[in-house]
Amino acid sequence: MTAKSENLKDSKDINLYWISGSPPSWRVMLALLLRQMPYQSKQLDHSKKQNRSPSYLAINPTGQVPTLVHGQTIVRESIAILAYIDRAFDGPALFGQSLEEAASIWQMVMDFENNLRPDATSIAQMLLRDQSENRKKEHEDAGKQFFNWLSQLEQKFSYSQWICCNSPSAADCWLYPSVAWVERAAKVSQSSLSERFATPFADFTNLPTWKQQMEGLKGFEETVPPHWN
């Protein structure tokens, strides 16, 4: 019998290990929010190296987050967890209702992961570490690619409320935390190059509407990294 047929919805059955500010962790929280699935929060303190503790490494040998433990099943890597949530629990489809939607969402998620994530990560880390000015060329190149992505998405949102279909999907869960991470990094950075990234949607019309929709999801505020407050 599968987890879905058992329909396990007791929060005691679902444990999510995460670190505040981790975009991959936030993706999973948003997915669980869309599914309205209660879970046991297992926040790890990166500064105390709790993700390298023997007890956590026994669950996830990579020491990375997030990790979802559902009963006897352990799933790591955020995209794999999104796919697991989609199959394990009832609720709105994270990867589409049709073959066409599933293909579109999977393509977009993997495009984000392979092509957008490196630039978003580079920008955020350089800003947070005040390395942007010393690595200006790298910073500018990553910024150019980042805003190229936003421009493409701006066009997509001119005819679609959400990234891939008529409801929020795994693609929306992936994108929001990564853009918010860059925005947050820019706001706390001391770099003179941070201003453009502090309001990345300032020159767009449709992207701010999408952002407001994500932030308007019931329970969204509970997913925001605690240390950001």
Question: Residue 204's domain is classified under what CATH number?
Answer: 1.20.1050.10
- Does residue 57 sit in the same domain as residue 156? no
Q: Is 93 domain-assigned?
A: no
Per-residue pLDDT of the chain (229 residues; tens, 9 = 90+): 344 544 455 557 999 999 999 999 999 999 999 999 999 999 999 999 999 999 999 999 999 999 999 999 999 999 999 999 999 999 999 999 999 999 999 999 999 999 999 999 999 999 999 999 999 999 999 999 999 999 999 999 999 999 999 999 999 999 999 999 999 999 999 999 999 999 999 999 999 999 999 999 999 999 999 999 8
Long-range pairs, 181-187, Cβ under 8 A, ≥24:
181/21, 181/23, 181/120, 181/124, 182/120, 182/123, 182/124, 182/127, 182/146, 184/21, 184/124, 184/228, 185/123, 185/124, 185/125, 185/127, 185/128, 186/127
Distance CA 107, CA 211 (A): 21
Q: Is 34 domain-assigned?
A: yes
- Does residue 17 sit in the same domain as residue 79? yes
Long-range pairs, 135-140, Cβ under 8 A, ≥24:
136/193, 139/193
pTM of the complete model: 0.94
Which pLDDT does position 3 carry in this prediction?
A: 44
The residue range of the domain holding 31 is 3-88
- Does residue 132 sit in the same domain as residue 167? yes
- Does residue 138 sit in the same domain as residue 166? yes
Question: Across the strands, what pairs with 40?
Answer: 15
- Does residue 146 sit in the same domain as residue 217? yes
Report how many domains make up the chain: 2
- Does residue 56 sit in the same domain as residue 138? no
Q: Is 124 domain-assigned?
A: yes
Residue 19, domain CATH: 3.40.30.10
Out of 27, 62, 88, pick the residue that ends a domain: 88
Out of 47, 65, 88, pick the residue that ends a domain: 88
- Does residue 70 sit in the same domain as residue 104? no
- Does residue 149 sit in the same domain as residue 216? yes
